[in-house]
Amino acid sequence: MSDSIITANDLGNGLVVFLTADGGWSQRLADARVVGPDALPEAVAYGKAQHDARIVVEPYDIEVTLENGVPVPVRLRERIRAAGPTVAYGEAEIAERAALSKAG
């Protein structure tokens, strides 16, 4: 049976967070508490309570697989959401293009 984690956005800064084993929230995917199907309803309910307590926004569960003990979301959308945009942005994007044109 599949494993899941609970994700949401931080209320104040809006950044993506994951429910941790101690009931807090972390921006690091590796910190996420991985739950099996049996524990999932309780974890979802906890997330919703944290939403209702105005700590996080719009929590939901996502399916993950474990790679070297670290959860990896199954859906591409969730992998991108967890890791950030797949393209460089701002000054880093300009630097990347400059390096590319030098190499080319």
Positions touching another protein (CB under 8 A) are: 9, 11-16, 51-54, 57-58, 74-77, 80-81, 84-87, 89-91, 93-94, 97, 100
Of the CA atoms within 13 Å of residue 77, those in its CB half-sphere come to 3
25, with CB counted inside 10 A (0-12, 13-18, 19+), is buried
Q: Taking the complex as a whole, how short is the minimal distance between the CB of residue 72 and another protein, in angstroms?
A: 13
Q: Which is nearer to another protein, 28 or 75 (CB)?
A: 75
| Closest by CA position to 60, among listed 79, 46, 80 | 46
Residue with Cβ nearer another protein (38 or 100)? 100
Closest separation in Å from C-beta 38 to another protein: 25
Within 8 A by CB and 6+ apart from 27, the residues are: 10, 15, 16, 17, 18
Which of 69, 104 has the CB closer to another protein?
Answer: 104
Residue nearer to another protein on the CB measure, 1 or 76: 76
